[in-house]
Amino acid sequence: MEAGKERLTRDTIRDATRQEIEHLKRENNDLKQLVADLSLEVHRFKKQPSQPSTEVWAQRYRQSIKHEVNQIPYEVPGDLEVAITGFVDYYNHRRYHKVLSNVSPDDVLNGRREEILIKRREVKAQTLASRKRYNRLLRESQSTAISP
């Protein structure tokens, strides 16, 4: 019976003072704020890499249309519609996009991107080899012309 009374009194006695509890609460709030700040920073970091948000892309697209289409004053709204349709066709099918490794969106959607990039690498290698060969022959011809 005495053991039970001692246990009951022990349960009701606090091990921490009011000041210690307040300190722990402040520390807990500081840790929560730190976790929130870090998770926000991680979210920002994940959004930044090389993919701008769609809002930025939309603004850039509108700017491109304005720059290309608004250069000419249009008398009739139908002429403006034709010009915008032509620009959209050019933008999607013929214009190279740096983000897509200088390939058009149409080429990417139709699976021709890798084929185009391989062909470009081959042409580049052939061009460099041709330039080296030409420069070597030029140096050789100049050295033979100079020597008596």
The 10s digit of each residue's pLDDT in 80-123 is 888 888 888 898 899 888 888 899 989 988 999 999 999 999 99
**Residue tagged 């349709």 (tokens):** 85
Tokens of 118: 């391989």
The 10s digit of each residue's pLDDT in 3-54 is 566 665 655 566 778 888 888 888 777 666 665 666 555 545 445 455 556 6
The 10s digit of each residue's pLDDT in 128-144 is 999 999 999 999 888 88
* Distance of alpha carbon 80 from alpha carbon 66, whole angstroms: 11
Three-state DSSP string of 98-123: HHHCCECHHHHHCCCHHHHHHHHHHH
pTM of full prediction above 0.85 = no
* Distance of alpha carbon 138 from alpha carbon 131, whole angstroms: 10
Please say whether the dihedral angle defined by the alpha carbons of residues 89, 121, 52 and 108, taken in this order, is positive or negative. positive
